[in-house]
Protein backbone atom coordinates (compact mmCIF):
# COMPACT_ATOMS: atom_id res chain seq x y z
CA UNK A 1 0.00 0.00 0.00
CA UNK A 2 1.22 3.49 -0.83
CA UNK A 3 2.14 5.52 2.22
CA UNK A 4 2.18 9.26 2.28
CA UNK A 5 2.39 12.11 4.73
CA UNK A 6 -1.23 12.68 5.72
CA UNK A 7 -0.46 16.31 6.46
CA UNK A 8 0.16 17.06 2.82
CA UNK A 9 -2.64 19.13 1.30
CA UNK A 10 -5.10 17.78 -1.22
CA UNK A 11 -3.94 20.47 -3.62
CA UNK A 12 -0.68 18.55 -3.99
CA UNK A 13 -2.41 15.59 -5.61
CA UNK A 14 -2.23 15.17 -9.36
CA UNK A 15 -5.19 16.91 -10.94
CA UNK A 16 -7.06 13.96 -12.45
CA UNK A 17 -6.55 11.86 -9.32
CA UNK A 18 -7.84 14.71 -7.16
CA UNK A 19 -10.83 15.31 -9.43
CA UNK A 20 -11.68 11.59 -9.49
CA UNK A 21 -11.71 11.61 -5.68
CA UNK A 22 -13.83 14.72 -5.67
CA UNK A 23 -16.30 13.14 -8.09
CA UNK A 24 -16.52 10.01 -5.91
CA UNK A 25 -17.14 12.24 -2.87
CA UNK A 26 -20.02 13.90 -4.72
CA UNK A 27 -21.55 10.63 -5.88
CA UNK A 28 -21.40 9.06 -2.39
CA UNK A 29 -22.83 12.22 -0.79
CA UNK A 30 -19.65 12.65 1.26
CA UNK A 31 -19.27 16.13 -0.22
CA UNK A 32 -22.46 17.31 1.49
CA UNK A 33 -23.69 20.78 0.51
CA UNK A 34 -21.16 21.67 -2.16
CA UNK A 35 -21.52 24.91 -4.09
CA UNK A 36 -19.58 24.52 -7.31
CA UNK A 37 -17.17 22.29 -9.19
CA UNK A 38 -13.61 23.00 -8.02
CA UNK A 39 -12.03 25.24 -10.66
CA UNK A 40 -9.27 22.75 -11.45
CA UNK A 41 -11.91 20.07 -12.17
CA UNK A 42 -14.15 22.02 -14.55
CA UNK A 43 -12.61 20.54 -17.69
CA UNK A 44 -12.24 17.08 -16.09
CA UNK A 45 -16.01 17.11 -15.49
CA UNK A 46 -16.68 18.18 -19.09
CA UNK A 47 -14.42 15.41 -20.38
CA UNK A 48 -16.24 12.90 -18.19
CA UNK A 49 -19.69 13.93 -19.42
CA UNK A 50 -18.63 13.97 -23.07
CA UNK A 51 -16.66 10.75 -22.85
CA UNK A 52 -17.48 7.05 -22.59
CA UNK A 53 -17.27 6.71 -18.77
CA UNK A 54 -20.43 8.74 -18.10
CA UNK A 55 -22.29 6.55 -20.55
CA UNK A 56 -20.95 3.33 -19.04
CA UNK A 57 -21.71 4.58 -15.52
CA UNK A 58 -25.25 5.42 -16.61
CA UNK A 59 -25.61 2.04 -18.29
CA UNK A 60 -24.52 0.29 -15.09
CA UNK A 61 -27.17 2.15 -13.06
CA UNK A 62 -29.86 1.39 -15.64
CA UNK A 63 -28.91 -2.31 -15.75
CA UNK A 64 -28.89 -2.61 -11.95
CA UNK A 65 -32.23 -0.78 -11.73
CA UNK A 66 -33.72 -3.12 -14.30
CA UNK A 67 -32.31 -6.22 -12.57
CA UNK A 68 -34.01 -5.12 -9.35
CA UNK A 69 -37.26 -4.12 -11.10
CA UNK A 70 -37.57 -7.62 -12.57
CA UNK A 71 -37.63 -9.08 -9.03
CA UNK A 72 -40.57 -6.89 -7.92
CA UNK A 73 -43.94 -8.65 -7.80
CA UNK A 74 -46.48 -6.20 -9.19
CA UNK A 75 -49.99 -6.35 -7.77
CA UNK A 76 -51.62 -5.49 -11.10
CA UNK A 77 -53.71 -2.72 -9.53
CA UNK A 78 -51.80 0.16 -11.19
CA UNK A 79 -50.38 1.24 -7.85
CA UNK A 80 -46.81 -0.01 -8.37
CA UNK A 81 -44.70 3.07 -8.97
CA UNK A 82 -41.21 4.00 -10.09
CA UNK A 83 -40.20 7.64 -9.66
CA UNK A 84 -37.89 9.47 -12.04
CA UNK A 85 -36.40 12.88 -11.61
CA UNK A 86 -36.18 14.81 -14.91
CA UNK A 87 -33.03 16.95 -15.30
CA UNK A 88 -29.80 14.93 -15.61
CA UNK A 89 -31.93 11.83 -14.95
CA UNK A 90 -34.21 11.48 -17.99
CA UNK A 91 -32.79 14.33 -20.06
CA UNK A 92 -29.45 16.10 -20.23
CA UNK A 93 -28.92 19.85 -20.00
CA UNK A 94 -25.21 19.56 -20.69
CA UNK A 95 -25.52 21.80 -23.77
CA UNK A 96 -26.88 24.57 -21.54
CA UNK A 97 -24.25 24.15 -18.84
CA UNK A 98 -21.34 24.19 -21.25
CA UNK A 99 -22.45 27.69 -22.28
CA UNK A 100 -23.59 29.11 -18.95
CA UNK A 101 -21.51 27.21 -16.39
CA UNK A 102 -22.48 24.28 -14.23
CA UNK A 103 -23.94 26.40 -11.43
CA UNK A 104 -26.14 28.46 -13.75
CA UNK A 105 -29.40 26.75 -12.77
CA UNK A 106 -29.02 28.27 -9.33
CA UNK A 107 -27.16 31.48 -10.19
CA UNK A 108 -28.90 32.54 -13.40
CA UNK A 109 -32.52 31.48 -13.30
CA UNK A 110 -33.46 33.58 -16.33
CA UNK A 111 -30.98 31.79 -18.57
CA UNK A 112 -32.13 28.42 -17.20
CA UNK A 113 -35.80 29.33 -17.82
CA UNK A 114 -35.01 30.32 -21.39
CA UNK A 115 -33.18 27.05 -21.92
CA UNK A 116 -36.11 25.04 -20.56
CA UNK A 117 -38.50 26.90 -22.87
CA UNK A 118 -36.43 25.87 -25.89
CA UNK A 119 -37.15 22.21 -25.04
CA UNK A 120 -33.78 21.17 -26.42
CA UNK A 121 -32.55 18.87 -23.66
CA UNK A 122 -31.44 15.51 -25.05
CA UNK A 123 -32.45 12.06 -23.85
CA UNK A 124 -30.04 10.18 -21.61
CA UNK A 125 -30.05 6.97 -23.66
CA UNK A 126 -29.78 4.49 -20.79
CA UNK A 127 -32.55 6.22 -18.85
CA UNK A 128 -34.77 6.00 -21.90
CA UNK A 129 -33.89 2.31 -22.17
CA UNK A 130 -34.78 1.75 -18.49
CA UNK A 131 -37.95 3.83 -18.80
CA UNK A 132 -39.27 1.63 -21.58
CA UNK A 133 -38.27 -1.57 -19.78
CA UNK A 134 -40.15 -0.45 -16.65
CA UNK A 135 -43.22 0.41 -18.72
CA UNK A 136 -43.10 -3.06 -20.28
CA UNK A 137 -42.89 -4.62 -16.83
CA UNK A 138 -46.04 -2.73 -15.81
CA UNK A 139 -44.71 -0.02 -13.51
CA UNK A 140 -46.54 3.29 -13.23
CA UNK A 141 -43.99 6.00 -13.94
CA UNK A 142 -44.12 9.18 -11.91
CA UNK A 143 -41.91 12.10 -12.90
CA UNK A 144 -41.05 14.27 -9.91
CA UNK A 145 -39.04 17.36 -10.80
CA UNK A 146 -37.83 20.61 -9.28
CA UNK A 147 -38.94 22.38 -12.47
CA UNK A 148 -41.86 24.75 -11.91
CA UNK A 149 -45.49 24.57 -13.02
CA UNK A 150 -44.85 27.23 -15.67
CA UNK A 151 -42.37 24.78 -17.23
CA UNK A 152 -45.06 22.11 -17.69
CA UNK A 153 -45.74 22.53 -21.40
CA UNK A 154 -42.14 22.86 -22.49
CA UNK A 155 -41.11 19.96 -20.25
CA UNK A 156 -43.81 17.68 -21.66
CA UNK A 157 -42.92 18.65 -25.21
CA UNK A 158 -39.22 18.11 -24.59
CA UNK A 159 -39.76 14.70 -22.99
CA UNK A 160 -42.05 13.52 -25.77
CA UNK A 161 -39.77 14.83 -28.51
CA UNK A 162 -36.88 12.70 -27.25
CA UNK A 163 -38.87 9.49 -26.76
CA UNK A 164 -40.56 9.54 -23.34
CA UNK A 165 -44.07 8.89 -24.59
CA UNK A 166 -46.26 8.57 -21.50
CA UNK A 167 -46.31 8.77 -17.73
CA UNK A 168 -48.77 8.44 -14.87
CA UNK A 169 -48.04 11.86 -13.36
CA UNK A 170 -45.67 14.73 -13.99
CA UNK A 171 -45.28 16.55 -10.67
CA UNK A 172 -43.77 20.03 -10.87
CA UNK A 173 -43.04 22.52 -8.14
CA UNK A 174 -45.96 24.80 -7.32
CA UNK A 175 -45.60 28.31 -5.86
CA UNK A 176 -46.16 27.03 -2.34
CA UNK A 177 -43.18 24.68 -2.78
CA UNK A 178 -40.89 27.50 -3.91
CA UNK A 179 -39.06 28.01 -0.64
CA UNK A 180 -38.69 24.32 0.24
CA UNK A 181 -35.49 22.41 -0.38
CA UNK A 182 -35.75 19.78 -3.09
CA UNK A 183 -35.36 17.11 -0.42
CA UNK A 184 -38.35 18.39 1.59
CA UNK A 185 -40.51 18.99 -1.49
CA UNK A 186 -39.78 15.57 -2.97
CA UNK A 187 -40.23 13.75 0.34
CA UNK A 188 -43.64 15.42 0.77
CA UNK A 189 -44.65 14.33 -2.71
CA UNK A 190 -43.58 10.73 -2.03
CA UNK A 191 -45.66 10.84 1.18
CA UNK A 192 -48.66 12.08 -0.84
CA UNK A 193 -48.20 9.27 -3.35
CA UNK A 194 -48.13 6.69 -0.56
CA UNK A 195 -51.22 8.28 1.02
CA UNK A 196 -52.95 7.81 -2.35
CA UNK A 197 -52.12 4.10 -2.16
CA UNK A 198 -49.09 3.99 -4.44
CA UNK A 199 -46.21 1.64 -3.59
CA UNK A 200 -42.89 3.27 -4.49
CA UNK A 201 -40.63 0.40 -5.50
CA UNK A 202 -37.86 2.40 -7.08
CA UNK A 203 -36.60 5.92 -7.48
CA UNK A 204 -33.99 7.23 -9.92
CA UNK A 205 -32.29 10.59 -9.53
CA UNK A 206 -28.98 12.35 -10.09
CA UNK A 207 -29.20 14.22 -6.76
CA UNK A 208 -29.28 12.71 -3.28
CA UNK A 209 -32.11 15.20 -2.61
CA UNK A 210 -34.13 13.25 -5.20
CA UNK A 211 -33.78 10.10 -3.12
CA UNK A 212 -33.29 10.76 0.60
CA UNK A 213 -35.86 11.78 3.20
CA UNK A 214 -38.87 9.85 4.51
CA UNK A 215 -40.61 8.04 2.97
CA UNK A 216 -37.95 6.61 0.69
CA UNK A 217 -38.49 4.24 -2.20
CA UNK A 218 -37.72 0.58 -1.49
CA UNK A 219 -34.62 0.96 -3.68
CA UNK A 220 -33.02 4.23 -4.72
CA UNK A 221 -30.64 4.61 -7.65
CA UNK A 222 -28.17 7.48 -7.82
CA UNK A 223 -27.30 8.56 -11.35
CA UNK A 224 -24.00 10.35 -11.82
CA UNK A 225 -23.91 14.14 -11.85
CA UNK A 226 -20.65 15.92 -11.09
CA UNK A 227 -21.90 19.24 -12.52
CA UNK A 228 -24.05 20.72 -9.77
CA UNK A 229 -25.61 20.06 -6.39
CA UNK A 230 -29.21 20.72 -5.35
CA UNK A 231 -29.93 20.60 -1.60
CA UNK B 1 -22.26 13.22 -25.97
CA UNK B 2 -21.36 9.69 -27.01
CA UNK B 3 -24.30 7.69 -28.30
CA UNK B 4 -24.46 3.94 -28.28
CA UNK B 5 -26.96 1.15 -28.76
CA UNK B 6 -28.46 0.73 -25.29
CA UNK B 7 -29.19 -2.91 -26.04
CA UNK B 8 -25.52 -3.80 -26.12
CA UNK B 9 -24.48 -5.83 -23.11
CA UNK B 10 -22.30 -4.47 -20.32
CA UNK B 11 -19.85 -7.27 -21.06
CA UNK B 12 -18.95 -5.47 -24.30
CA UNK B 13 -17.49 -2.50 -22.43
CA UNK B 14 -13.74 -2.17 -22.10
CA UNK B 15 -12.64 -3.86 -18.90
CA UNK B 16 -11.33 -0.90 -16.93
CA UNK B 17 -14.29 1.25 -17.93
CA UNK B 18 -16.70 -1.49 -16.88
CA UNK B 19 -14.90 -2.04 -13.58
CA UNK B 20 -14.84 1.70 -12.84
CA UNK B 21 -18.62 1.77 -13.33
CA UNK B 22 -19.03 -1.28 -11.17
CA UNK B 23 -16.93 0.32 -8.42
CA UNK B 24 -19.03 3.50 -8.59
CA UNK B 25 -22.18 1.37 -8.34
CA UNK B 26 -20.81 -0.25 -5.20
CA UNK B 27 -19.79 3.05 -3.60
CA UNK B 28 -23.16 4.69 -4.29
CA UNK B 29 -25.05 1.62 -3.03
CA UNK B 30 -26.63 1.15 -6.45
CA UNK B 31 -25.22 -2.39 -6.52
CA UNK B 32 -27.40 -3.42 -3.57
CA UNK B 33 -26.72 -6.88 -2.12
CA UNK B 34 -23.73 -7.91 -4.22
CA UNK B 35 -21.97 -11.19 -3.51
CA UNK B 36 -18.49 -10.95 -4.97
CA UNK B 37 -16.23 -8.84 -7.14
CA UNK B 38 -16.91 -9.62 -10.84
CA UNK B 39 -14.14 -11.96 -11.96
CA UNK B 40 -12.90 -9.58 -14.65
CA UNK B 41 -12.48 -6.85 -12.01
CA UNK B 42 -10.50 -8.79 -9.38
CA UNK B 43 -7.13 -7.44 -10.53
CA UNK B 44 -8.56 -3.96 -11.20
CA UNK B 45 -9.69 -3.87 -7.56
CA UNK B 46 -6.26 -4.98 -6.33
CA UNK B 47 -4.57 -2.33 -8.48
CA UNK B 48 -6.92 0.29 -7.05
CA UNK B 49 -6.22 -0.67 -3.42
CA UNK B 50 -2.47 -0.84 -3.96
CA UNK B 51 -2.29 2.32 -6.03
CA UNK B 52 -2.57 6.05 -5.36
CA UNK B 53 -6.29 6.47 -6.12
CA UNK B 54 -7.47 4.58 -3.02
CA UNK B 55 -5.24 6.76 -0.89
CA UNK B 56 -6.45 9.96 -2.53
CA UNK B 57 -10.08 8.84 -2.25
CA UNK B 58 -9.53 8.07 1.46
CA UNK B 59 -7.82 11.41 1.95
CA UNK B 60 -10.77 13.22 0.37
CA UNK B 61 -13.22 11.48 2.75
CA UNK B 62 -11.02 12.28 5.76
CA UNK B 63 -10.68 15.94 4.74
CA UNK B 64 -14.42 16.33 4.17
CA UNK B 65 -15.15 14.61 7.49
CA UNK B 66 -12.75 16.94 9.27
CA UNK B 67 -14.18 20.03 7.53
CA UNK B 68 -17.63 19.06 8.80
CA UNK B 69 -16.39 18.13 12.28
CA UNK B 70 -14.87 21.58 12.69
CA UNK B 71 -18.34 23.13 12.21
CA UNK B 72 -19.92 21.08 15.03
CA UNK B 73 -20.46 22.95 18.30
CA UNK B 74 -19.53 20.55 21.07
CA UNK B 75 -21.42 20.84 24.34
CA UNK B 76 -18.40 19.95 26.46
CA UNK B 77 -20.32 17.28 28.37
CA UNK B 78 -18.50 14.31 26.79
CA UNK B 79 -21.64 13.27 24.95
CA UNK B 80 -20.58 14.39 21.46
CA UNK B 81 -19.78 11.23 19.54
CA UNK B 82 -18.20 10.17 16.27
CA UNK B 83 -18.59 6.50 15.33
CA UNK B 84 -15.97 4.55 13.42
CA UNK B 85 -16.29 1.10 11.96
CA UNK B 86 -13.05 -0.92 12.27
CA UNK B 87 -12.26 -3.18 9.26
CA UNK B 88 -11.44 -1.26 6.08
CA UNK B 89 -12.31 1.92 7.99
CA UNK B 90 -9.62 2.27 10.67
CA UNK B 91 -7.44 -0.67 9.64
CA UNK B 92 -6.85 -2.54 6.41
CA UNK B 93 -7.13 -6.32 5.95
CA UNK B 94 -5.91 -6.15 2.38
CA UNK B 95 -2.97 -8.46 3.19
CA UNK B 96 -5.44 -11.13 4.28
CA UNK B 97 -7.73 -10.72 1.29
CA UNK B 98 -4.94 -10.92 -1.25
CA UNK B 99 -4.19 -14.40 0.10
CA UNK B 100 -7.69 -15.71 0.80
CA UNK B 101 -9.86 -13.82 -1.69
CA UNK B 102 -12.06 -10.79 -1.14
CA UNK B 103 -15.09 -12.80 -0.03
CA UNK B 104 -13.18 -14.87 2.54
CA UNK B 105 -14.56 -13.00 5.59
CA UNK B 106 -17.95 -14.45 4.77
CA UNK B 107 -16.94 -17.74 3.13
CA UNK B 108 -14.03 -18.82 5.34
CA UNK B 109 -14.60 -17.65 8.89
CA UNK B 110 -11.80 -19.78 10.30
CA UNK B 111 -9.18 -18.13 8.12
CA UNK B 112 -10.61 -14.71 8.97
CA UNK B 113 -10.54 -15.50 12.71
CA UNK B 114 -6.91 -16.62 12.46
CA UNK B 115 -6.04 -13.41 10.64
CA UNK B 116 -7.75 -11.29 13.30
CA UNK B 117 -5.84 -13.12 16.04
CA UNK B 118 -2.53 -12.23 14.37
CA UNK B 119 -3.36 -8.54 14.86
CA UNK B 120 -1.48 -7.61 11.71
CA UNK B 121 -3.98 -5.31 10.04
CA UNK B 122 -2.35 -2.03 9.04
CA UNK B 123 -3.58 1.49 9.78
CA UNK B 124 -5.40 3.33 7.03
CA UNK B 125 -3.30 6.49 7.23
CA UNK B 126 -6.01 9.03 6.50
CA UNK B 127 -8.38 7.44 9.00
CA UNK B 128 -5.66 7.66 11.63
CA UNK B 129 -5.16 11.31 10.69
CA UNK B 130 -8.91 11.99 11.05
CA UNK B 131 -9.10 10.00 14.28
CA UNK B 132 -6.47 12.18 15.92
CA UNK B 133 -8.03 15.38 14.58
CA UNK B 134 -11.41 14.41 16.04
CA UNK B 135 -9.84 13.58 19.39
CA UNK B 136 -8.17 17.00 19.40
CA UNK B 137 -11.50 18.65 18.65
CA UNK B 138 -13.01 16.88 21.68
CA UNK B 139 -15.19 14.20 20.11
CA UNK B 140 -15.82 10.96 21.98
CA UNK B 141 -14.84 8.15 19.63
CA UNK B 142 -16.96 5.03 19.57
CA UNK B 143 -15.77 2.01 17.59
CA UNK B 144 -18.66 -0.10 16.36
CA UNK B 145 -17.60 -3.27 14.59
CA UNK B 146 -19.02 -6.51 13.27
CA UNK B 147 -16.08 -8.33 14.86
CA UNK B 148 -17.11 -10.58 17.73
CA UNK B 149 -16.51 -10.33 21.48
CA UNK B 150 -13.88 -13.07 21.29
CA UNK B 151 -11.91 -10.72 19.00
CA UNK B 152 -11.78 -7.99 21.65
CA UNK B 153 -8.21 -8.49 22.87
CA UNK B 154 -6.61 -8.97 19.48
CA UNK B 155 -8.61 -6.05 18.06
CA UNK B 156 -7.53 -3.72 20.87
CA UNK B 157 -3.91 -4.81 20.51
CA UNK B 158 -4.00 -4.37 16.75
CA UNK B 159 -5.56 -0.91 16.98
CA UNK B 160 -3.08 0.27 19.60
CA UNK B 161 -0.09 -1.17 17.77
CA UNK B 162 -0.87 0.89 14.66
CA UNK B 163 -1.53 4.16 16.48
CA UNK B 164 -5.15 4.26 17.67
CA UNK B 165 -4.39 5.01 21.30
CA UNK B 166 -7.75 5.46 23.02
CA UNK B 167 -11.51 5.36 22.54
CA UNK B 168 -14.68 5.83 24.55
CA UNK B 169 -16.17 2.43 23.71
CA UNK B 170 -15.30 -0.51 21.53
CA UNK B 171 -18.58 -2.26 20.73
CA UNK B 172 -18.27 -5.79 19.35
CA UNK B 173 -20.93 -8.24 18.29
CA UNK B 174 -22.23 -10.41 21.14
CA UNK B 175 -23.71 -13.88 20.67
CA UNK B 176 -27.26 -12.49 20.69
CA UNK B 177 -26.32 -10.25 17.73
CA UNK B 178 -24.95 -13.16 15.71
CA UNK B 179 -27.95 -13.64 13.44
CA UNK B 180 -28.66 -9.95 12.85
CA UNK B 181 -27.55 -8.16 9.72
CA UNK B 182 -24.83 -5.59 10.28
CA UNK B 183 -27.34 -2.87 9.45
CA UNK B 184 -29.77 -4.00 12.16
CA UNK B 185 -27.06 -4.61 14.75
CA UNK B 186 -25.39 -1.25 14.15
CA UNK B 187 -28.68 0.66 14.07
CA UNK B 188 -29.62 -0.88 17.42
CA UNK B 189 -26.28 0.15 18.89
CA UNK B 190 -26.72 3.72 17.64
CA UNK B 191 -30.18 3.77 19.25
CA UNK B 192 -28.65 2.56 22.53
CA UNK B 193 -26.02 5.30 22.36
CA UNK B 194 -28.69 7.94 21.81
CA UNK B 195 -30.74 6.49 24.69
CA UNK B 196 -27.63 6.92 26.88
CA UNK B 197 -27.60 10.61 25.94
CA UNK B 198 -24.91 10.57 23.26
CA UNK B 199 -25.27 12.85 20.23
CA UNK B 200 -23.95 11.09 17.12
CA UNK B 201 -22.55 13.86 14.95
CA UNK B 202 -20.66 11.73 12.49
CA UNK B 203 -20.19 8.16 11.39
CA UNK B 204 -17.45 6.70 9.20
CA UNK B 205 -17.70 3.32 7.54
CA UNK B 206 -16.72 1.44 4.40
CA UNK B 207 -20.10 -0.34 4.19
CA UNK B 208 -23.50 1.25 3.72
CA UNK B 209 -24.65 -1.12 6.49
CA UNK B 210 -22.32 0.83 8.81
CA UNK B 211 -24.23 4.02 8.08
CA UNK B 212 -27.86 3.44 7.09
CA UNK B 213 -30.82 2.58 9.30
CA UNK B 214 -32.48 4.64 12.03
CA UNK B 215 -31.16 6.45 13.94
CA UNK B 216 -28.47 7.74 11.58
CA UNK B 217 -25.62 10.06 12.46
CA UNK B 218 -26.10 13.71 11.51
CA UNK B 219 -23.51 13.16 8.77
CA UNK B 220 -22.36 9.81 7.41
CA UNK B 221 -19.14 9.29 5.48
CA UNK B 222 -18.69 6.35 3.14
CA UNK B 223 -15.12 5.15 2.82
CA UNK B 224 -14.24 3.24 -0.34
CA UNK B 225 -14.31 -0.55 -0.32
CA UNK B 226 -14.66 -2.42 -3.60
CA UNK B 227 -13.51 -5.74 -2.08
CA UNK B 228 -16.58 -7.06 -0.31
CA UNK B 229 -20.13 -6.27 0.74
CA UNK B 230 -21.70 -6.79 4.17
CA UNK B 231 -25.51 -6.54 4.33
Q: Can you tell me whether residue B193 is helix, strand or coil?
A: helix
> Which pairing describes strands B140-148 and A91-92: parallel, antiparallel, or unpaired?
unpaired
Looking at the structure of chain B, the number of domains it has is 1
Contact: B30, A3; criterion CB under 8 Å: no
Say if residue A4's pLDDT is above 70: no
Give A87's strand partners.
A91
Chain B residues whose CB is inside 8 A of the A56 CB are 10, 13, 17-18, 20-21
Residue A65 falls inside a structural domain: yes
Residue B78 falls inside a structural domain: yes
**Nearest residue of B to residue A122 by CA position?**
B1
Residue A16 falls inside a structural domain: no
Residue B42 falls inside a structural domain: no
Say if residue B3's pLDDT is above 60: no
Instruction: Please answer whether residues A124 and A58 qualify as being in contact, where contact means their C-beta atoms are separated by less than 8 angstroms.
Output: yes
Say if residue B1's pLDDT is above 50: no
Q: In terms of residue numbers, what domain contains B172?
A: 51-92+122-222
Residue B3 falls inside a structural domain: no
Which pLDDT score, from 0 to 100, does residue A8 have? 53
The mean pLDDT value for B78-87 works out to 98
For residue range B160-171, list pLDDT tens digits in order.
999 999 999 999
Residue B149 falls inside a structural domain: yes
The mean pLDDT value for B133-162 works out to 97
Q: Is the ipTM reported for this complex over the cut 0.90?
A: yes
Q: In this structure, what DSSP letter does residue B87 have?
A: B
Residue ranges of B 5-34 with Cβ closer than 8 A to chain A:
6-7, 10, 13-14, 17-18, 20-22, 24-25, 27-32
The mean pLDDT value for B105-124 works out to 91
**Nearest residue of B to residue A129 by CA position?**
B6
Say if residue B6's pLDDT is above 90: no
Q: Identify which of B205, B201, B199 has the alpha carbon closest to the alpha carbon of residue B221.
A: B205
Q: What are phi and psi of B92, to 5 degrees?
A: -105, 130
Give B73's strand partners.
none
CATH code at B57? 3.40.50.1000
The string of DSSP letters for chain A reads -----TTS-GGGS-HHHHHHHHHHHHHTTTT-S--S--GGGHHHHHHHHHSHHHHHHHHHHHHHHHHHHTT----SSS-EEEEE-SBTTTEE-HHHHHHH-TTHHHH-HHHHHHHHHHT-PEE-HHHHHHHHHHHHHTPEEEEEEEEEGGGHHHHHHHHHHTT----SEEEEE-GGGTTS-HHHHHHHHHHHHHHTT-EEEEEEESSGGGT-SSSPPSEEEE----S----
Residue B43 falls inside a structural domain: no
Contact: A4, B125; criterion CB under 8 Å: yes
For residue range A163-194, list pLDDT tens digits in order.
999 999 999 999 999 999 999 999 999 999 99
Distance, CA of A216 to CA of A96 (rounded, Å): 31
Residue A228 falls inside a structural domain: no
Instruction: Please answer whether residues B186 and B165 qualify as being in contact, where contact means their C-beta atoms are separated by less than 8 angstroms.
Output: no
Which pLDDT score, from 0 to 100, does residue B10 have? 60
Amino acid sequence: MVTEDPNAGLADDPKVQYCESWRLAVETNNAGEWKKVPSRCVDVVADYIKGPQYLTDSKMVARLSHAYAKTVKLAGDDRDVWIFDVDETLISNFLHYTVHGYESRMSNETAYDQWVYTGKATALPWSLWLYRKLQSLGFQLVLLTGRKEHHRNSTEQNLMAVGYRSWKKLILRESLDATKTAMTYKSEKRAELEAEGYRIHGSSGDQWSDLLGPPMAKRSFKLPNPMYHIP
